[in-house]
Chains A and B, each alone.
Chain A
Amino acid sequence: MIPIIKITNREKITPAHQMMTLLFSIMAGLFAIGLIFLAFGVNPVFAMMKIFTGSFGSMYGIKETVTKAIPLILIGVGLAIAFRAKFWNIGAESQLLMGAIFGTWVGLNWGPHLPAPMIIPLMFLAGFIGGALWGLIPAFLKIRFSINEVISTLMMNYICAEFLTFLIVGPWKGKTKFGFPYTDDLPASAILGVIPGSRIHYVTLIVALLVVFILGVIIYKTRFGYEVRVIGENPEAARYAGIDFFRTTLIIMAISGGVAGLAGVGEVAGIHHYLSYPASISSGYGFTAIIVAWLAKLNPFFVIVAGIFFAGILVGGDAIQISLGLPAATVQIFNGTLLVFLIMGDYFLKHRITFKNNRMPHGEPDPQ
């Protein structure tokens, strides 16, 4: 009478089904996080309320949430494209940093000689190229040598972080920074304007929304978008259908890395105004954006909502730290737990799990 668990693929997945799974995954995730809060001796309902009032409950919170959402949206939309093609890009963190490095170089060297309307587009262009080049390396390694991109993109994060550290303690160390490992400040023309009274660097925000729109159109309305989807669903079929796997993968990663690079330029030119340690420039946006893309179900337009949601959690995370005395790592635990539940939800969405008793003889066909 021992029940047997039987896992089969689901034939048909309806949008309603998808929505229910998503909601249920989030609820279950929040419940699990609640248990963690309980273990800290904090009322979970109060803590969750505090997170969301800390981020969406005041003008201050909203402004900060939007500021944090900018890089998350940019990176998230790029990842959504890569993930659609089942290219698991875990290296957005360093694609952002490479963009920041390229953009800063342009800003520091050309900024003093060019006016803002010229230098800022050049910085974004340089940032895109930097991120794209860094993203192309693992793409090339995958198609040429079949090197697993999860490993290569993840490892390249460390290479880039060390390279950035080398630059700021070495050749790029600022003359005005008292020996601290920062570059000099960007010249005034290379600094992005902010909405008064906030830290929202609106140029990057507009860039992010444009990127979402363009990539949304590409994914849903163009032949290329179709090819991306086919490569993700069935690479063999794609090959038979004459889709150039080599070319498409390279373009996907150039886009995915490039938009992460744009986020890097936004962070340096909009917030920090100089390059410093990798962890200060990015604070893990490249990893958080993975969850953003996943929560958005790889839909570029949903990335906006998911990006704002996770930015809210980051900003609200400060609030629970300050008022409840929870450790700084709480937010990472929150995000990680939610991702685990989202991925689990996806599994249950794609597979049917049936319990049955082993009274039936083995080998009997599934009644379905």
Chain B
Amino acid sequence: MRTIFRVLALCLCVLLVAGVASAEDKKIKAGFIYVGPVGDLGWSHAHDLGRKFAESKLPWLESVFIESVPEADSARIIDRFIQEEKCDVVFTASFGYMDDTIKAGMKYPDKHFMHCSGFKQSKNVGTYFADLYQMYYLNGIMAGALTKSDKIGYVGAFPIPEVVRHIDAFALGAKATNPDAKVHVRWIYAWVGPDKAKEAAESLIAAGCDALAFTEDTPAVIEVGQEHSEKGKQIYTFGHYSPMQAYGVDSVVSGQLVDWGVMYVKILQSLYDGTWTKDDLYWLAAEDAAILGGDFDNIINPKFVADLKAAKVKTADFGEISTYDLVIKRYEQMKKGADVFEPFSGPINDNTGALKIKKGAKASKGDLLSIMYYVDNVVGSIPK
């Protein structure tokens, strides 16, 4: 009998020690689900850079990822991450994963889920998003100042609020420096569609546009701009999501960049510390999630700085200044906080003449997230 007690006591000790030891080297395993290939130089690529950044900053973090997961397949992959890979938290980085993420939250109540760009939260499912509309506004300022034809093009992925918001912000920026400029839009119905994006860019150029912004996850539009610029017809382009200036040294003026790394570190740290909440994280320039530039080294391509400095513009708050200074000043305001300068400040009319934001009013987060109208200097109508 005594022997049994001794053995039991010994076992208990071992268990206790093991328990303490495991508590000391607490680890978190995170799974990332991407909708596109990580080599796409767009959305999924940027998320994967963020994942790698988090892994380099957080010694207790282990992460796994899977790319090119069709939206309808996410439930299966979440199951694999939780059941087979024993992940503690799963990041689902596409809007289309929303419902499956919420369902997974119910199925695995002791795990955490973070869904990117959605609007549904639950006890253990949070949401996060880094939005770039401020950067589109700044790029619009530059496009308006540089265009010679007063026709600006935009290649859009899908007619959803996020992309419409970016088109509108870009158009509002252009209007600030060039009230005559109109924005022309082509939809390609793909997030990754370099062939379609090229066609759309060519068609915009053929229609007279000489400045192009876009939402598509490859540098296709920039390559078109570079090709024309090399042949002597200057086309101004604005990079999207990843550093793309290298693909169009004679064409890329600036662009919008994202840094998911800071966000992933914050989210994972809060899980590690036990301070995690399900509240939506909506990060902009002030949080260093949205960054201006064709790459991380240049806010504006040096090639175009002189032109932008030469173009003067009248503003209500800064008087007459150069476009270059305006971009820098607005960017500084945005970095101070989203409320310091809001691109969507009234009066704003849609392109049918209806007043959408009253004079003196600003768009709320809800307004921005559900925006489905073109502002008055965008041509055409949103496909229904």
List A residues at the B interface (Cβ < 8 Å).
Answer: 54, 58, 60-61, 64, 67, 165, 169-170, 173, 178-181, 199, 271-272, 276-277, 279-281, 283, 318-319, 321-323, 327-328
Contacts and interface: CB of A to CB of B under 8 A. Distances in A.
Given A60-B80, A179-B372, A328 B37 contact: yes
A281 B72 contact: yes
Contacts of A199: 75-76
B352 interface: no
Interface string B105-134: 000000000000000000000000000000
Contact of B71 (A58, A173, A280, A327): A280
A319 B80 contact: yes
Interface centre among A178, A199, A272 (most CB of B within 10 A): A178
A318 B383 CA distance: 36
14 contacts: A60-B79, A60-B84, A64-B76, A67-B76, A173-B384, A179-B372, A180-B95, A271-B72, A277-B70, A280-B72, A283-B70, A283-B73, A319-B80, A319-B84
Given A178-B160, A178-B161, A318-B77, A328 B372 contact: no
Contacts of A169: 158-159, 189, 383
B73 A280 contact: yes
B68 interface: yes
Contact of B68 (A67, A271, A328): A328
B67 A328 contact: yes
Interface residues of B, number: 31
Contacts, number: 72
Interface string B344-384: 00000000000000000000000000001000000000011
A276 B73 CA distance: 12
Interface string B63-89: 011111011110111011101110000
Contacts of A178: 160-161
B208 interface: no
B83 A60 contact: yes
Return the 5 tightest CB-CB contacts between A and B, nearest first.
Answer: A280-B70, A328-B68, A272-B72, A280-B72, A179-B160
B194 interface: no
Given A178-B160, A318-B66, A165 B72 contact: no
Contacts of A276: 71-72, 96
A179 B371 CA distance: 11
B200 to A, nearest CB: 15
A309 to B, nearest CB: 19
B324 to A, nearest CB: 36
B96 A180 contact: yes
Contacts of A321: 66-67
Given A54-B84, A61-B84, A280-B73, 10 more contacts: A60-B83, A60-B84, A169-B189, A179-B160, A180-B160, A181-B158, A318-B77, A321-B66, A322-B80, A323-B85
Contacts of A318: 66, 76-77, 80
Nearest to A67: B76
A265 B158 CA distance: 26
A180 B158 contact: yes
A222 to B, nearest CB: 38
A327 B372 contact: no
Contacts of B95: 180
